[in-house]
Amino acid sequence: MSIYRVHFKWKDKEVSLSARKLDLTHPYFVSIKDLVFSSKPKLIIDPSEDELRKAFSSTSHLMIPFQTVSLIEEINETEPTRVMPFRSAVENGSEEP
């Protein structure tokens, strides 16, 4: 199952929300349903994430204007995310591209 991460501007800040359903058929809005918030207990609370949770956790359907959206990602929920380290050519002992 896919999860969609929508990056947009809200209150003069760049924020992102995750959702299970996304509808792009409306001519002026991105329609987001079934918002997903992390349920893992955290040692450190991110104030920006906490603000989004307070503002949108009870929302069942959100319409965001296209003009404010900067990026939409589709993430496969079943595949683990892989982070690969970036190494420069100088670190590897080679200076060729």
Instruction: Establish if 60 belongs to a structural domain.
Output: yes
Strands (E), 1-97: 2-10, 13-23, 29-36, 61-65, 69-76
- CA pair distance 37, 56, nearest whole angstrom: 10
What pTM was computed for the model?
Answer: 0.69
Q: What is the predicted pLDDT for the residue at 65?
A: 94
Q: What is the predicted pLDDT for the residue at 87?
A: 66
Is residue 59's pLDDT more than 80? yes
User: 26 lies in which domain range?
Assistant: 2-76
- CA pair distance 51, 31, nearest whole angstrom: 21
Per the listing, tokens 């359907």 go with: 61
3-state class of 43 per DSSP?
coil
Instruction: Establish if 13 belongs to a structural domain.
Output: yes
H/E stretch holding 87 reads none
Instruction: Establish if 92 belongs to a structural domain.
Output: no
Instruction: Establish if 32 belongs to a structural domain.
Output: yes
Instruction: Establish if 71 belongs to a structural domain.
Output: yes
- Count of structural domains, the chain: 1
Instruction: Establish if 89 belongs to a structural domain.
Output: no
